[in-house]
Structure 1
């Protein structure tokens, strides 16, 4: 099933014309209404009329999260506040939050974008969709809520927390679609087990997961414990929220709503453009937003783009699973390490659970990594030989993937704190006194 066949199956040459027309309108809009962009373009000697082809996007400046924070709260809005009908914002844990404004048109388009992606994943009008994201300034819950509601699905706005009640709602309401972070889906399954509830006895059939990375191995664990199809979607508050891209049922990359977002891949160090298939940093230009249009926004997410048509019939370019973020990348003894690489090894080993922490310390001038992971069965703690053997197996597999020998600590089940939102895997102690 395809929600908007005309848009989602558009021939590439026709899509390019739509993108160029919308890009030019967006550049006009920000040049006229956003002093920050007018000054940045003038510094580069670029006027809106210089954008004559999609290749000319490289004339435009990059935008970063710091640019949004430095213009807090409304400095990058291209619509007057009287036209802004909704505000969302990031958590602001590392400074001022990034504030996003939406016009009525923005909200309408946002709902449509999400509807496309949930339909591609397999959601249907007859579904009962339980949203276990937090409602508030965070965009995740509202984005999925209105997209699924537009489809005609029944919404259970459960929000986060009260995990046992979430399980009860699944049972009583006949929930068929779960919306949450991947890590919370695992915690829900763990809680159901403690309640002596067979997860496969529920009516759940589909997971729409986002807001944090999920390795292919983690997906397989979720699908196994719940007996569902687990799909991934991608977005961020600055761009719109969820709705930028998402997987179809074939799970061969996330389809980008390319008539609303123009994607590029760049070298994260030099900023140079990379070709299809090359791995680099995802850069997105919003080409239909009114409230907060962004030129060449540096997402910091590492991925690649695939322009080939998909089995599902959609022609939109697909982005591969995000490998990590440039700001999450760890440099351990000169080697670049992404948390997703570690996760892919850990969750493939039957004797350990899917919950882990990465603890980074400074030793002299070098960073040192310790991986703390739970055992699936604490009886292993009683057999030193088995424990040592398991530890050697895990360390070897990690070394093959990471090219470094990381410190490994195996701990009892249920030792590592669970998260009801985004899982915080990295514990950075590099600036903490010993």
Structure 2
């Protein structure tokens, strides 16, 4: 009844029997391989010796003449050459042959015993040498392990920096160094993001506290002043809600995609343009659209936020009477969306900084912008393996072009792709 239980536990029991140190396992492996090779070598040697042909050894007398000699007919006779007597050697040769076979067996046994003793001695030596070689092989690994254990968030800049031939251990060390570099970059970005987010959230909280405190300590406050303070508090609360929503979108975008589905950038851009029409009209902006089919795959909701952020950024950071250009197209199999806008002068060296969280030009307190729009665009593009190309527009403004990778699976163009007329204008 206990046999199945023992059989089921045998793998775990076998794992417990294995040594826990790699050096011990390598030493045992080297020793077993050497012993196995020695056994095979001895077996081959004994087989070759056992099959070797026997040679006839002639015994000579005191004068140096053979005792065992052939006669004229080729038969063997025993005796001295000067003796006239002769004896037929058939029986004697048979006895000599049997004696030679017995002697050969004794020599083979002796050879086997001596070889076994030599193999046992060399097995002990091989284990000792295997222990030394295993320690030599594992020394770089122990060094790398110690260095990695010392690295923490405070000294993330340290690297293994292994120097040596381009072997597997060097490749492993370089891979770990690359991983540490990426972790350092992500940690620095996380620290900056947390600091900026804390600052952005602290400002409206401080303002809310001041408004509430003003309403409490002002004994001459009227209904209108209370109403004004409450309206400002409501606006601040809406800004915080938008900020938290943006932070959640940014966080979900940086995690990557949970699913992929086909979408058309033309449809998405057309929908966003229609939604933003009242705001562009209020600002007196001219919107020029060239909408073409641009099919890609990914999370359509995130891509919709990407296009909306691009258009919002082009609308909010524009000049009165300016214009916005929106283009979608397919180029070399890649779906491309391009948004260009007029606006304030943007230094070329500051373009990359605009895609960092909470970074924006012309920072104005209470303007309702948190500097997360373009950072969300970059996070969504990165999650879709898209390429972002941005540059300052001559005369002011910004041009952002995002190219999505081509689909790897065949996809028929979705029916009913709606297009706006080329150079259509929203006033």
Answer yes or no: same fold by TM over 0.5: no
In terms of Rg, which structure is larger? 2
**Which protein, 1 or 2, shows the higher relative CO under an 8 Å CA cutoff with sep ≥ 6?**
1
Normalised TM-score (structure 2): 0.23
Structure with greater proportional strand content: 1
Normalised TM-score (structure 1): 0.23
